[in-house]
Structure 1
Amino acid sequence: MIKKILFLSALTLAFSCKTPKKSIKEVNPEKYANTITASELKDHLYTFASDEFQGRDTGKPGQKKAANYLKDEYQKMKIASPLGGDDYFQDIPSSFFNNKYNDSENVVAYIEGSEFPDQIVVISAHYDHVGMDAEGNIYNGADDDGSGTVSILEIAEAFKDAVKDGYRPRRSILFLHVTGEEKGLLGSDYYTKNPIFPLENTVTDLNTDMIGRIDPVHKDNPNYIYLIGSDKLSTDLHELSEEINNKYTQFDLDYTYNEDNDPNRFYYRSDHYNFAKHNIPVIFYFNGTHEDYHQPTDTPDKIEYDLMARRAKLIFYTAWEVANRDERLVVDKTE
Structure 2
Amino acid sequence: MCISFSMIACSSSQTNKLASTDSATVTKFAETITAGELKDMLYVYASDDFEGRKTGEPGQKKAISFIKDHYVANGIGSPIAEGDYYQEIPASYFNNLAQDSENVIAYIEGSEKPDEVIIISAHLDHIGISNDGNINNGADDDGSGTVAILEISEAFQTAVKAGDRPKRSLLFLHVTGEEIGLYGSMFYTDVDPIFPLEKTVANLNIDMIGRVDPKHEDQGNYLYLIGSDKLSQELHDLSETVNQTYFNLEFDYTYNADNDPNRFYYRSDHYNFAKNNIPVIFYFNGTHADYHKPTDTPDKINYGFLETRTRLIFHMAWELANREARITLD
- The normalised TM-score by structure 1 is 0.91
- How far the C-alpha of 1:84 sits from its partner, in A, is 1.7
2:313 corresponds to = 315
2:253 equivalent to 1:261 = no
- How far the C-alpha of 1:98 sits from its partner, in A, is 2.1
1:251 corresponds to = 249
Cα root mean square deviation, aligned: 1.0
Match among 270, 273, 276 for residue 274 of structure 2: 276
- How far the C-alpha of 1:222 sits from its partner, in A, is 3.2
Deviation readout 1:148-199 (Å, 9 max, x if unpaired): 0000000000000000000100000000000000001010000001100100
Amino acid at match of 2:302: E
- How far the C-alpha of 1:26 sits from its partner, in A, is 3.6
Match among 51, 60, 79 for residue 57 of structure 2: 60
Amino acid at match of 1:290: H
2:110 equivalent to 1:113 = yes
Amino acid at match of 1:222: G
- Check conservation: 2:20, 2:323, Cα contact below 8 A: no
- Check conservation: 1:24, 1:167, Cα contact below 8 A: no
2:205 corresponds to = 207
1:41 corresponds to = 38
1:1-335 to 2 correspondences below 5 Å? 25-26=21-22, 28-193=25-190, 194-332=192-330
- How far the C-alpha of 1:221 sits from its partner, in A, is 1.0
Deviation readout 1:178-233 (Å, 9 max, x if unpaired): 00000010100000011001000000000000000000000021321100000000
Identity %: 65
- Check conservation: 2:78, 2:105, Cα contact below 8 A: yes
Q: Structure 2: how far apart are the matches of 1:241 and 1:179?
A: 27
- How far the C-alpha of 1:134 sits from its partner, in A, is 1.9
Describe the SS at the equivalent of 1:240: helix
Unaligned runs of 5+ in 2: 1-18
Amino acid at match of 1:205: N
Amino acid at match of 2:209: I
Amino acid at match of 1:104: S
Describe the SS at the equivalent of 2:299: helix
Q: Structure 2: how far apart are the matches of 1:320 and 1:233?
A: 20
Q: Structure 2: how far apart are the matches of 1:296 and 1:98?
A: 26
Q: Structure 2: how far apart are the matches of 1:83 and 1:221?
A: 43
- The normalised TM-score by structure 2 is 0.93
Q: Structure 2: how far apart are the matches of 1:211 and 1:26?
A: 28
Amino acid at match of 1:215: D
Amino acid at match of 1:241: S
Bigger radius of gyration = 1
Describe the SS at the equivalent of 2:71: helix
Unaligned runs of 5+ in 1: 1-22
Deviation readout 1:277-296 (Å, 9 max, x if unpaired): 00100000000000000000
2:14 corresponds to = none
Deviation readout 1:78-117 (Å, 9 max, x if unpaired): 0000112110000000111123310000000000000000
Deviation readout 1:229-283 (Å, 9 max, x if unpaired): 0000001100000000001111010000000010000000000000000010000
Larger helix fraction of residues: 1
Q: Structure 2: how far apart are the matches of 1:100 and 1:270?
A: 18
